Amino acid sequence: MNTKKRNLRWDTMRILAGGFLGTIFLGAFLLWLPICNNEPITFLDSLFTSTTAVCVTGLVTIVPATQFTLLGKVILLLLIQIGGLGIIACTTGFFILIKKKITISERVIISETYSSDGPGGMVKMVRRAVLGTFFVEAVGAAVYACYFIPHYGVINGIGYSVFHSISAFCNAGIDILGSTSFAEFVHNPLININTMLLIILGGIGFIVWFDIVDNGKRIRKHEVPKKWWFTRLNLHSKIALTTTAIMLVAGTLAILFFEYNNPETMGKFSVGDKIMSAAFQSVTTRTAGYFTLPQNVLHNETKLFGAIWMFIGGSPGGTAGGIKTTTIAMLVLTAIAVIRGGEDTECFGRKISKSNFRTGFAVSLLAMIIYLVGTMAIVMIESDSVPVIDIIYETASASGTVGLTANLTPNLQKTSQIVLIGMMYLGRIGPLTFALVFGGRRHAASQIRELPERNILVG
């Protein structure tokens, strides 16, 4: 049983890591074909683009709008959608479509990925996630269309609407408008609000969706009262929602405070547009990658703040990157528990298990090490004239799969770009597989022996 469980964990990791890698190289090959390109492309550029799409990051070394033909753009969109839903959900969705009975082993893998209550409702759950994704993306595209069709004609308008809705929901942040992302829509509330909602919905994770929807159903059926609906959500949803809300509001206020008088960003805007652009920047920084404000002229403090927010990222089980909202909440709550003298990490009247905390801590430390090593490497490769703050911004963006850029990525050395490819890949699959493969494991030795305990001095 133990060996079986262990093998399952390794299988999970192999499928995730190998699936992502295979998709990336397949995509790189396809995007490298002349039929996909309007102008010649190096394999490194097509590999970078495929990685950025599958890992839903958004950093680019080329300009997709002009680089790719229609076919290239369709392939790019498919890579984004595959990356966003996750290899496993796609595989399962594929199984469902061809009505092949899903094996128990595959069910368990998906169960671990989306942490539901067992392999029972698994197929149903993946179908819900896939259908939910398509539904939200369709609504988002319809809203975009209200602006894009009048402005770009029917054919182009629909194309733009579908592409950017999928890219926003999957938190990919890749656009086919040009090289300034959503900057031209900085004063347009429709595009701003629609994009923010798509990003937030994609970044909050399926578990939270399902929890809210199921809770809503029970309220509609009068099985439970409407009052206190929040307290009936599971602990994961409560923490993800609360942390997301805190980070969005705090981020908006911080960016507003830092950039209020910056003439190169929002300095000359009306107060309303200042707030809207700060809110957009706050939403996009967490994981999305679209931008309305030029990123390279942000103040240094905004970039540093952004790098921290990018490192934390969105919520698990969705399309977001970073160490995740729930992880940072758990770390902070544990520090508070230590200060208060509690044995347990407490939250909303529940305690979080010690092994859960240890997994979250290990995920964070690993992410920190990947981030620091990658940043060190690029700082070393580039000359001292490249501002370190821009490298910090770019590597946080890559490892948090965010995609915001201080206009640095296209101008980096080839070796630095390869480091960024590695960071995007590890940033996307690292925390997830780490939590899946190692979370709650117990190796055989620890069950049969007991070591003497010692304390050491800290601090």
Q: Cβ of residue 167: shortest distance to K ion, in angstroms?
A: 9
- Residue 174 CB-half CA count within 13 A: 37
The entry of a second copy, K ion, none near residue 253 (CB within 5 to 8 angstroms by kind) is none
224 makes contact, choosing from K ion, a second copy, none, with CB < 5 to 8 Å by partner type, with: none
| CA distance linking residue 259 with residue 306, whole number of Å | 12
Instruction: Work out the number of other CB atoms within 10 angstroms of the CB of residue 433.
Output: 20
**Contacted entry of a second copy, K ion, none for residue 459, CB cut-off 5 to 8 Å set by kind:** a second copy
Nearest by Cα to 396 from 318, 333, 459, 302: 302
CA 199 to chain centre: 9
Residue type, 251: G
Residue 389: CB atoms within 10 Å: 16
Question: Which of 119/318 has CB closer to K ion?
Answer: 318
Alpha-carbon gap, residue 293 to 281, rounded angstroms: 7
Contact characters 436-455, a second copy, x per CB under 8 A? x-xx-xxx-xx----xxxxx
| CA–CA distance, 81 with 54 (Å, rounded to integer) | 8
Q: Whole-number minimum distance, CB 340 to a second copy, in Å?
A: 6
Which of 23, 67, 171, 243 touches K ion by CB under 5 A?
A: 171
Establish if 423 lies at the interface with a second copy (CB under 8 A): no
The binder of 452, among a second copy, K ion, none, by C-beta within 5 to 8 A per type, is: a second copy
Q: Which run of H or of E encompasses 428? A: helix 414-438
User: Pick from 236, 253, 294, 410: which binds a second copy (CB under 8 A)?
Assistant: 236
Residue 324 amino acid letter: K
Q: Please, which of residues 343-362 interact with a second copy by CB under 8 A?
A: 343-344, 346, 349-356, 358-362
Contact range with a second copy by CB under 8 A, out of 210-218, 275-283, 417-425, 427-435: 427-435
Applying CB under 5 A, among 84, 318, 403, 431 the residue interacting with K ion is: 403
What is the Cα gyration radius of the chain? 22
394-413: contacts with a second copy (CB under 8 A)? none
Burial track 370-381 (b if 16+ CB lie within 10 A, e otherwise): bbeebbebbbeb
In terms of CB distance, is 28 or 310 closer to a second copy?
310
- Residue 356 contact among K ion, a second copy, none, beta carbon within 5 to 8 Å by kind: a second copy
CB 396 within 8 A of CB 320: no
Q: Which stretch binds K ion (CB under 5 A): 13-21, 156-164, 210-218, 403-411?
A: 403-411
Asked if residue 263 binds a second copy (CB under 8 A), the reply is no
Determine which helix (DSSP H) or strand (DSSP E) holds 213, and give its type and residue range.
helix 206-220
456 lies in the site for a second copy, by CB under 8 A:
yes
Q: Which does 171 bind (CB under 5 to 8 A by kind): K ion, a second copy, none?
A: K ion
Q: How far is the CB of 206 from a second copy (least distance, A)?
A: 10
End-to-end CA distance of the chain: 42
